[in-house]
Structure 1
């Protein structure tokens, strides 16, 4: 009888762990320097529901992403948000990025950015505060490829700035 109870408990505990919702807050920013184009190309992916919640709260809007009622001018809000939360320095010089666009893929939003007229690149300083205001557990993973060198850093609400040297 004791064996059956112990077996039942060992069976139920793992099942309960799958039914309890545990939310992870993670974005991925990929940075690649394309010397032949003299540009830094940036792709950011975030969970759609998280970015939607943050923008809805910050700008008092209702984006309704991927629905027929989606705001037609949502790129304005994405651009404003990204300019507020994301900053780059290339070789100690602040650089503005161009917003190329976005696309939806499942429960993710991909943002495409570019920094032009970069002749050489020895370091990138990045400040990434995406979603950290609304989600204190948010982590922003930065992966880069410059001159065949790969570097990675993990930023969060307490440490939102990182330096990549090549």
Structure 2
């Protein structure tokens, strides 16, 4: 079945029927009453919402690649453990922990990959994405003494490479070379 048949036009705009069906199901669940009126109200609401607020197209080329995904998850898990130990050490130790703001360049221009990198960085204790600029991130790094600009940049480049290998398109992978 073609995708266009699942999104017929209504007054000139495409209305995705699977989304309307999902919104109808949510509507019925919220009302807690499976009646004709509730289902029709859900259908009407779903049609109006999807017609008034169309979703942008989703880049379906991004798919997980199992072996690189497993490698990324192992790397990320190890990083979580090490970073947690480092932050706990500085929290329990008297005095202020070392903190820095570091600008880190990104090699990818893909928005979904950039978001995945930002989420991964912010999930690890002791690191936080403060701002995103075109082609770079501003990070707040906690618990790493001395000038750690280059090690942090290498760590983010490694993380970016692993995320691109795990989720990226061939075009994303070309950008890193």
Whether these two folds match at TM > 0.5 is no
Q: Between Structure 1 and Structure 2, which shows a larger proportion of helix residues? A: 2
TM-score scaled by length of structure 2:
0.27
TM-score scaled by length of structure 1:
0.28
Higher relative contact order (CA 8 A, sep 6+): 1
Q: Between Structure 1 and Structure 2, which shows a larger proportion of strand residues? A: 1
Q: Which protein shows a greater Rg?
A: 2
